[in-house]
C-alpha cells in the first residue's frame, strides 16, 4: 500500500488571476489569523471569512473604476450635506472566532469622531456605518458582513447597485439608503459609472457634483 504524503504550501504562493477566487473550507480562526499575517497588507487580493470558510479573491481591473467612483460619490454627497466622515478603505474587520472581511471601501459617519486618529482597530470599535463592495455575490462575504454587523452594505455588480440594510441580524434589500434617504442611488450610481466609461472618471464626477447644485 502506497503511503500518501500531503504537500503543504503557504497561501501566499497561491497565484490567482484577476477576476478569480478560491474558497478554502475548514479553516480555524487561528489559521485565518496566520493566513492574514502571511499575506500581509500590500496585496491585491481581498479575503472574507465566515463559519470556517475562507474566500480569497482578486478583483478585475474593471472593478476598480466603480469602486473608486462610488467611494468618491459618497464623499461628494456627505460634503454636500455638511456631514463629516472618516474613511477606512479596505481595513480588515473581524468578529473574533467568527468572521473577517475586507470591504472595497467603507466609511464611519455616525461614529466618525470615535475613529479619528485610530491607527489600529480596537476590540470594542463599532463596525463601519457603510461598506461598499463591487462584484461580490458569495455567501461567505455576505455572511462575514452580517456577523460583523455592518448596518448598511452596498453591492455593485453588473451595472446594478443593491442596498442591503441589516435588520434583526439579516440583510434586507432596500430601494433607498438611510444614509442618503432622498437620493435615488440605485439609479444615479449606475448612471455615473456608465458615464465614467465614456468620458472618464473625473468628468463624470464633475458632472455629478454639478447636478447637485442645479
Domains and CATH numbers, the chain: 61-211 (3.90.1570.10)
> Would you write out the chain's pLDDT as a tens digit for each of its 214 residues?
555 544 455 666 677 788 888 899 999 999 999 999 998 877 788 899 999 999 998 887 778 889 999 999 999 999 999 999 999 999 999 999 999 999 999 999 999 999 999 999 998 999 999 999 987 667 778 899 999 999 999 999 889 999 999 999 999 999 999 999 999 999 999 999 999 999 999 999 999 999 998 6
**Cβ partners under 8 Å of residue 68, min gap 6:** 201
Could you tell me the pTM of the whole model? 0.88
One-character DSSP codes across the chain: -PPP------GGG----TT-EEEE-S--HHHHHHHHHHH-SS-S-EEEEETTEEEEE---HHHHHHHHHHHHHHHHHHHHTT---EE-TTPPEEETTTEEE--SEEEESTTHHHHTT-SS--TTPPPPSEEEEES---HHHHHHHHHHT-SEEEEEETTEEEEEEEETTEEEEESS-SSSTTS-HHHHHHHHHHHHHHH-HHHHHHHHHHHTT-
Beta-carbon contacts of 83 under 8 Å, excluding residues fewer than 6 positions away, are 109
Tell me the C-alpha distance between 165 and 163, whole Å. Answer: 7
Q: Give the model's pLDDT for residue 3.
A: 57
d(C-alpha 160, C-alpha 88), whole Å: 24
Q: How far is residue 7's CA from residue 115's CA, in Å, rounded to a whole number?
A: 43
Amino acid at each position: 500500500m502506497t503511503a500518501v504524503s500531503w504537500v503543504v504550501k503557504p497561501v501566499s504562493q497561491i497565484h490567482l488571476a484577476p477576476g478569480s477566487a478560491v474558497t478554502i473550507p475548514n479553516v480555524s480562526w487561528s489559521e485565518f489569523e496566520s493566513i492574514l499575517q502571511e499575506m500581509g497588507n500590500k496585496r491585491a487580493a481581498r479575503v472574507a471569512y465566515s463559519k470556517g470558510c475562507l474566500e480569497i479573491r482578486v478583483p478585475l481591473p474593471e472593478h476598480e473604476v466603480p469602486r473608486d467612483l462610488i467611494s468618491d460619490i459618497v464623499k461628494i454627497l456627505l460634503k454636500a450635506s455638511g456631514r463629516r466622515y472618516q474613511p477606512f478603505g479596505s481595513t480588515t474587520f473581524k468578529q473574533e472566532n467568527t468572521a473577517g472581511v475586507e470591504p472595497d471601501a467603507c466609511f464611519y459617519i455616525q461614529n466618525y469622531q470615535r475613529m479619528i486618529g485610530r491607527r489600529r482597530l480596537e476590540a470594542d470599535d463599532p463596525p463601519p456605518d457603510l461598506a461598499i463592495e463591487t462584484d461580490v455575490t458569495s455567501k461567505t462575504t455576505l455572511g462575514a458582513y452580517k456577523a460583523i454587523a455592518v448596518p448598511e452594505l452596498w453591492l455593485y455588480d453588473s451595472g446594478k447597485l443593491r442596498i442591503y440594510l441589516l435588520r434583526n441580524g439579516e440583510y434586507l434589500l432596500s430601494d433607498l439608503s438611510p444614509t442618503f434617504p432622498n437620493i435615488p442611488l440605485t439609479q444615479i450610481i449606475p448612471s455615473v459609472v456608465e458615464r465614467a466609461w465614456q468620458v472618464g472618471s473625473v468628468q463624470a464626477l464633475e458632472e455629478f457634483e454639478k447636478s447637485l447644485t442645479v
